Structure 1
Amino acid sequence: MTLEEKPGVNGCVGGRRESCPSEMSQANGKPRANGNAKGSPKQEANGKSNAPRGCLNTYTWQEIQKHNQDGDQWLVISRKVYDVTEWAHRHPGGPRVLNHYAGEDATDVFRAMHPNLDVVKLYLKPLLIGELAPGEPSQERNKNPQLVEDFQELRRTLEAMNMFDGRLQFFFLHLAQILILEVLAWLLLYHFGNGWTVTILVSFLLTVAQAQSGFLQHDIGHLSMFKKPKWNHLMQKFVMCHMKGLSAYWWNHRHFQHHVKTNIYPKDPDIDVGPLFVIGESQPVKYGKKKIKYIDYDKQHLYFYLVGLPLLMPVYFNGKSLQIMYLHKVWVDIALVSSFYIRHFITFGPFYGIFGTMLLIYMVKFLESPWIAYVTQMSHIPMKISREENRDWLSTQVLATCNIEQSFFNDWFSGHLNFQIEHHLFPTMPRHNYHKVAPLVRSLCAKHGLQYVNKPLLTGFGDIVRSLKKSAALWIDSYYE
């Protein structure tokens, strides 16, 4: 029996089994997306989509879950089935983000990651190939439908409360803070010269400015601060490339993977820290059983202070950014990152010379590195790290993230990423609203028996090292058993 002959799989809405007149099929019998994936959103908005209207194929979850490979990717969004195979390489967030959800329900992650749904839905129209059969649940059968519905209801409540509306003045004040710090650094040099004391103060001011620039570009990378998407895109490139000296293209493709599959090995690149470290529970055991010993992992909690903290920014992030920019020929990023160095040479070159200015830049990156390492890792590494379990969106993020207690300093020091749970559940929410929605998220977690972890800042720092020691112990047990 061919796919077209299977009852209840293909047919028009209403349970009829005959094929829709406008259906297109591949040579192997698999239905393809109706319409051309290269069609423009403008054409879709004008009603020129080739997708059938009033007549859709229907599919079971069993059939959908087979389409989870690089060359065969289907997604389910709000019970509609989309074939994104041929369009994946054009996805602004990178093809891997789509591949990570191939064969799964992507309703909540789709809503979470896209600030402007009206634009995105236009791109979805030509990719539509059908919908879930009437008897199929809206999510995979392993998920708790009540939990999913409660989370979606929470999101609707937050939207009604305007929690996704940002205050531009908040972010402009943040930008003003960065510019003031950089101007102060230059004024110190201009008035007092480049003595050791002044150089230390200049390095401190620039380090704070660089860290806060990172938090600002993180905001812009997630939010829709301007009505036109291209202005958000250009603003993020300006802040990330020109003010930080790192590739926005590299950051987007890496960071979005981290958000959609947080702490899922190997889909989350942020936990792919081998062979230098082994983290979580499965990776240490895997390395141990295979007798892999690139480094003495028993000491990883110690060399974390010597390698992980100081080298994250100046070596790892900087190296990866340069590599991706040049391999993928991202010319806009290359030009703007070059302008970062040119700006520093113009500003500080008269005081330090070219070589001295390069030393200053990398000294600042070296000082910034522990700050960023602690902020990004304290809410993730100590939490659950696992292979794909296809959990619902709420459970995935709450199990993989934790919060740090709120205070004025903690909010400023972390760029409000002390609210990692809320940030991961609602990435497009402006950070000045996290503290308002946290009680509602905590209440929902309590209702469904999910542990909502909130800890002091120094405990978060210490938990990174404690989790590294725990993972090292698992590696030792497996290696020497």
Structure 2
Amino acid sequence: MMLEDEHEGNGSLVGKSQQYLGEKQQANGKPVTNGKDSVKQEANGKCDMSRKILTMYSWQEIQRHNQEADQWLVINRKVYDVTDWAKRHPGGHQVLNHYAGEDATDVFRAMHLKLDIVKLYLEPLLIGELSPEEPSQERNKNPQLVEDFQELRRTLEAMNMFKTNWVFFFLHLAQILILETLAWLMVWHFGNGWLMTIFISFLLLISQMQSFFLQHDSGHLSMFTNSKWNHLMQKFLMSHLKGLSAKWWNNQHFQHHVKTNIYPKDPDIDVGPLFLVGDLQPVKYGKKKIKFIDYEKQHLYFYMVGIPLFVPLYFNIKSIQLMYFQRCWEDIAWISSFYIRHFIMLGPFYGIFGTILLIYGVKFLESAWMTYVTQMSHIPMKMSREENREWFSTQVLATCNTEQSFFNDWFTGHLNFQIEHHLFPTMPRHNYHKVAPLVRSLCAKHGLPYVSKPMLEAFGDIVRALKKSAALWRDAYYET
């Protein structure tokens, strides 16, 4: 994507909304076409207005603007000042801050499905471009790997690998609604006996699992191309069907995707003081003589505490914290509908206390599944501080797959293809297995590991990784 400069100054959001879609003025006071028309003209190759002369920047200059109060980034050799815009970024301000002073071309393309819409927001932020003698990426990156990956993406786009199969997602949504309805009909017809309660819990458990997969797709914009419908669907799936804040999930999850296993930018690996993961955090805690728990036994705490309480306690606390501090009234209303629906459907049979017990009993069961599925692909993999590697190598080194089978695909919602999912977050999951051979081939060409394991081995690697981290903490803690 190439953007032509139509703005003067530093590109900050002075005037804010009127600069995005409204009429813009040239230095002589004459109006120029608005952002939407400009995008269309550029797309048709008919934009004949005079271009402003862009300021040329070196990488050395750009890399100095890497603070929260001063954020520049590069996309396709264009330099953007996103300092003011970061606070209003739909994916959260941290995502932009994580790439301040860096080339963000590949991550930008990976995380945005409809570029024409995003262009309207980029244009006012444009302040310059890389000097002609500067490489397109920072000098520590492998330009051939970057070029090969971008060529791979163009190939996949030509193969329609980013095109959604609506029937696939409709059937999954229908499955969720059928399971929810069936659970209510069963208790209404047969009552609330122990065997019936167990069966109903199983139906609700499957529904919760599939709801997570579907909202995950919606959150990455691969299910719906219309942003309003996508927003509504994710609220329905995450907040109404699962009882968690969709905004919290997006803010947390998008950071995980753009800086996977990068400490402390990825919130999924910054889980101290409960657990220490990777090679860096245990040593840091050990040298500072920090011992909130006996970390030598953290793999046992993982079974006793981490697995059962991951969803019903940790997720809910984090969700409530964000809604409270950011006053997310919309999410609060949607989550209220989750509990109201359950009290209406199950309250007459189980009472208020029994309904709450059933809800959290299902979450308790779901927690074991969700912990394994979400952690097996990352905890055993490379964790590091910021190295500013290529997008491709960062994702490949920080993720791994589990072997494909009908059960593995269903059990994980195709998140057993974690490498492909991280490289192409907006790709519909039903296409992961089709692109996996091409990704594996690119890894082989550049000498990068493409890790794919049996599922039970992947489960076991979580514990082995925790024990390894515990040993690092012990050595640093007791070091004289």
- Measured against the shorter chain, the TM-score band is over 0.9
Is the Cα contact below 8 Å between 2:12 and 2:83 reproduced in 1? Answer: no
Q: How does 1:53-132 map to 2 (within 5 A)?
A: 53-132=51-130
For 1:134 and 1:126, how far apart are their aligned partners in 2?
22
SS across alignment from 2:419: helix
Judged with a 3 Å threshold, the aligned counterparts in structure 2 of structure 1 residues 137 and 37 are, in CA distance, closer, same or farther, namely farther
Q: How does 1:61-460 map to 2 (within 5 A)?
A: 61-460=59-458
For 1:313 and 1:429, how far apart are their aligned partners in 2?
26
Displacement after TM superposition at 1:184 (Å): 2.1
Q: Does 1:41 align with 2:21?
A: yes
Is the Cα contact below 8 Å between 2:223 and 2:428 reproduced in 1? Answer: no
Is the Cα contact below 8 Å between 2:110 and 2:423 reproduced in 1? Answer: yes
For 2:369 and 2:72, how far apart are their aligned partners in 1?
40
Displacement after TM superposition at 1:326 (Å): 1.9
Judged with a 3 Å threshold, the aligned counterparts in structure 2 of structure 1 residues 296 and 157 are, in CA distance, closer, same or farther, namely same
For 1:22 and 1:447, how far apart are their aligned partners in 2?
42
Judged with a 3 Å threshold, the aligned counterparts in structure 2 of structure 1 residues 362 and 46 are, in CA distance, closer, same or farther, namely same
Displacement after TM superposition at 1:32 (Å): 5.0
For 2:298 and 2:314, how far apart are their aligned partners in 1?
17
Output the TM-score relative to the length of structure 2. Answer: 0.92
1:121-179 CA distance string (max 9 Å, x none): 11000000000000000000000000000000000000000000011110110011111
Is the Cα contact below 8 Å between 1:33 and 1:82 reproduced in 2? Answer: no
Q: Which one-letter code corresponds to 1:45 in the other structure?
A: K
SS across alignment from 1:105: coil
SS across alignment from 2:90: coil
Output the TM-score relative to the length of structure 1. Answer: 0.92
Judged with a 3 Å threshold, the aligned counterparts in structure 2 of structure 1 residues 249 and 188 are, in CA distance, closer, same or farther, namely same
Is the Cα contact below 8 Å between 2:20 and 2:124 reproduced in 1? Answer: no
1:51-88 CA distance string (max 9 Å, x none): 99331000000000000000000010000000000111
For 1:347 and 1:249, how far apart are their aligned partners in 2?
27
1:197-243 CA distance string (max 9 Å, x none): 11111111111110110110000111243343111111111111111
SS across alignment from 1:270: coil
Displacement after TM superposition at 1:350 (Å): 1.1
1:396-423 CA distance string (max 9 Å, x none): 0000000000000000000100000000
Q: Which one-letter code corresponds to 2:138 in the other structure?
A: E
For 1:464 and 1:448, how far apart are their aligned partners in 2?
27
1:273-322 CA distance string (max 9 Å, x none): 10011100011111111111111000000110011100010000011111
Is the Cα contact below 8 Å between 1:34 and 1:52 reproduced in 2? Answer: no
Is the Cα contact below 8 Å between 1:34 and 1:128 reproduced in 2? Answer: no
Displacement after TM superposition at 1:33 (Å): 4.2
Of 194-203 and 446-455, more deviation after overlay is shown by 194-203
For 1:156 and 1:318, how far apart are their aligned partners in 2?
40
For 1:109 and 1:218, how far apart are their aligned partners in 2?
18
Q: Give ranges in structure 1 of 5+ residues lacking alignment.
A: 1-12, 14-19, 25-30
Judged with a 3 Å threshold, the aligned counterparts in structure 2 of structure 1 residues 34 and 236 are, in CA distance, closer, same or farther, namely closer
Displacement after TM superposition at 1:323 (Å): 1.5
For 1:399 and 1:273, how far apart are their aligned partners in 2?
20
Displacement after TM superposition at 1:41 (Å): 3.5
For 2:76 and 2:269, how far apart are their aligned partners in 1?
30
Is the Cα contact below 8 Å between 1:37 and 1:127 reproduced in 2? Answer: no
Displacement after TM superposition at 1:46 (Å): 3.9
For 1:448 and 1:414, how far apart are their aligned partners in 2?
29
SS across alignment from 1:122: helix
For 2:205 and 2:50, how far apart are their aligned partners in 1?
56
CA-atom RMSD in angstroms: 1.8
Of 172-181 and 57-66, more deviation after overlay is shown by 172-181
Judged with a 3 Å threshold, the aligned counterparts in structure 2 of structure 1 residues 182 and 23 are, in CA distance, closer, same or farther, namely closer
SS across alignment from 2:268: helix
Is the Cα contact below 8 Å between 2:98 and 2:259 reproduced in 1? Answer: yes
Judged with a 3 Å threshold, the aligned counterparts in structure 2 of structure 1 residues 173 and 79 are, in CA distance, closer, same or farther, namely same
For 1:256 and 1:194, how far apart are their aligned partners in 2?
41
For 1:225 and 1:198, how far apart are their aligned partners in 2?
34
For 2:38 and 2:436, how far apart are their aligned partners in 1?
41
Q: Which one-letter code corresponds to 1:199 in the other structure?
A: T
Of 132-141 and 349-358, more deviation after overlay is shown by 349-358
Is the Cα contact below 8 Å between 1:37 and 1:86 reproduced in 2? Answer: no
1:309-362 CA distance string (max 9 Å, x none): 000100000111111112111111111100000000011111101111111111
Q: Which one-letter code corresponds to 2:326 in the other structure?
A: H
Judged with a 3 Å threshold, the aligned counterparts in structure 2 of structure 1 residues 422 and 22 are, in CA distance, closer, same or farther, namely closer
For 1:41 and 1:21, how far apart are their aligned partners in 2?
13
Of 324-333 and 419-428, more deviation after overlay is shown by 324-333
Q: How many residues are paired up?
A: 455
For 1:196 and 1:420, how far apart are their aligned partners in 2?
38
